[in-house]
Amino acid sequence: MSLNTLPVVHAVHPTQYPTFTTEDLRSFFLLTDLKKTDSLNLTYTHYDRLIAGTIIPASTEVSLPTYENLKSSFFLERRELGIINVGGKGTVTVDGTAFSLEKYDCVYAGMGSKEVLFKSEDAANPALFYLLSSPAHATYPTRLLKGSEASPVSLGSQATSNERTIYKYIHLEGVQSCQLVMGLTVLKTGSVWNTMPSHLHDRRCEVYFYFDVAEDQRVMHFMGGAKQTKNIVIANHEAVLSPAWSIHSGCGTASYSFIWGMAGENKDYADIDPLPAASLL
C-alpha cells in the first residue's frame, strides 16, 4: 500500500456481528500495526470518520502528511487532532510552535494547522505519540495540556478490582475542540477492570488504545450488545474500535492503562447509557 493512501476500516452493522469469529473480530475492530518507529501508523475508520494510530519518532523527525484518500491539501485542512504522549520525552511542533511533551502530556491541534512535526528527545527512549483525528467544521486554538493539569479523578474501589485515575484532556470543560473528546485512564496496581459498569453511547463511537500492558500480559476487551458479548484479546500498544452499538469494557491479567477518544454530537464526557453488570450476557 502506498504511503500516500491511508488504510481503511469499514463500519460493521450490528446484525453482522453475531456471526463473527475471533479472526473476524480482530480484522474488523482491532488496530495492531502500531509499533513501527519512524513511521506513520495511522488508519482511517468509517466510524465517525476517525483516524487513529501512532507516531514513534526514534532516529528522525516525522512530519504528518496528507493522504490521497483525504482529498485535502494538508492533513488538518478540514480536521482536528488530539495527540497524547505515552512514551519518552518528545516534541510536537505545530506551524512553528514547539511543545515539549512528557508522558501523559497532550497537544490539541485545531483545524487549519498546516504543519505538524514529531520528534523524540532520546532515540533510545522514544516518545510514543497516540493520535486521534476527527472531521471539524470550526477552528479552536492549538494548545498544550500537561498531564498534571488534566483534572485527575479517582474512581472505582479495591473491592471491585477497578481502582483507577481518569485524566480528561479534550472535553466540554477542558481543552476546547470542535467535536473531539480525549483522555486516558490509569489502573492502580491490583486493579484490572475498566469502564464498569459497561455502557453504550449511541451518539458516538469510541476508540481505546491500550498501553503499559506488560509484554507477557493481555487485556480481554469486551464488546457487542448487552445480550451477546464477545471478547478480543489485546496486547500492548494495540487499539480497538467500539461502534456506537457496542459496549466497551476490559479486564486485564495485570494492571494497565488506556487512552479513550471519540467524536460525536456533543462533548459531554458523561453522555452514556449505563448497562448494569447483571444485564449482560
Whether residue 143 is contained in a domain is answered as: yes
CA gap 11, 18 in Å, rounded = 15
Comparing 36-40, 198-202, 245-249, which segment has the lowest mean pLDDT? 198-202
Percentage of the chain lying above the pLDDT 70 cut: 99
Whether residue 269 is contained in a domain is answered as: yes
- At 200 the three-state DSSP class reads strand
Whether residue 230 is contained in a domain is answered as: yes
Whether residue 3 is contained in a domain is answered as: no
Q: Which residues pair with 109 in a beta bridge?
A: 81
Phi and psi at residue 38, to the nearest 5°: 55, 35
Query: What is the mean pLDDT of the segment spanning 21-33?
Result: 97
The CATH number for 31's domain is: 2.60.120.10
Comparing 120-134, 146-160, 205-219, which segment has the lowest mean pLDDT? 146-160
Instruction: List, for residues 58-91, the tens digit of each pLDDT value.
Output: 999 999 999 999 999 999 999 999 999 999 999 9
Count CB-CB contacts under 10 A for residue 189: 7
Does residue 2 carry a pLDDT above 70? no
What is the reported pLDDT for 272? 82
Whether residue 197 is contained in a domain is answered as: yes
Locate 75 and state its grid cell: 492533513
**Mean pLDDT rounded to a whole number for the chain:** 95
Query: What is the mean pLDDT of the segment spanning 194-206?
Result: 87
What is the reported pLDDT for 91? 98
pTM of the model: 0.96
Parallel, antiparallel or unpaired: strands 79-85 and 106-109: antiparallel
CA gap 258, 213 in Å, rounded = 9
Boundaries of domain holding 71: 8-279
Asked if 150 and 185 count as a contact pair (C-beta separation under 8 A), the reply is no
Residue 217 CA: distances (Å) to CA of 31, 87, 153, 235, 255:
18, 19, 26, 7, 9
**Predicted confidence band of residue 181 (pLDDT cuts 50, 70, 90):** very high
Query: What is the mean pLDDT of the segment spanning 110-118?
Result: 98
Asked if 262 and 189 count as a contact pair (C-beta separation under 8 A), the reply is no
**Predicted confidence band of residue 98 (pLDDT cuts 50, 70, 90):** very high
Whether residue 57 is contained in a domain is answered as: yes
Any long-range contacts for 71-74 (C-beta under 8 Å, 24+ apart)? 74/114, 74/115
Asked if 135 and 166 count as a contact pair (C-beta separation under 8 A), the reply is no
Locate 45 and state its grid cell: 475508520
Whether residue 2 is contained in a domain is answered as: no
CA gap 196, 34 in Å, rounded = 27
Residue labelled with grid coordinates 500495526:
33
What is the reported pLDDT for 1? 40
Comparing 4-8, 190-194, 252-256, 272-276, which segment has the lowest mean pLDDT? 272-276
Q: Give the number of domains in the chain.
A: 1
What is the reported pLDDT for 3? 56
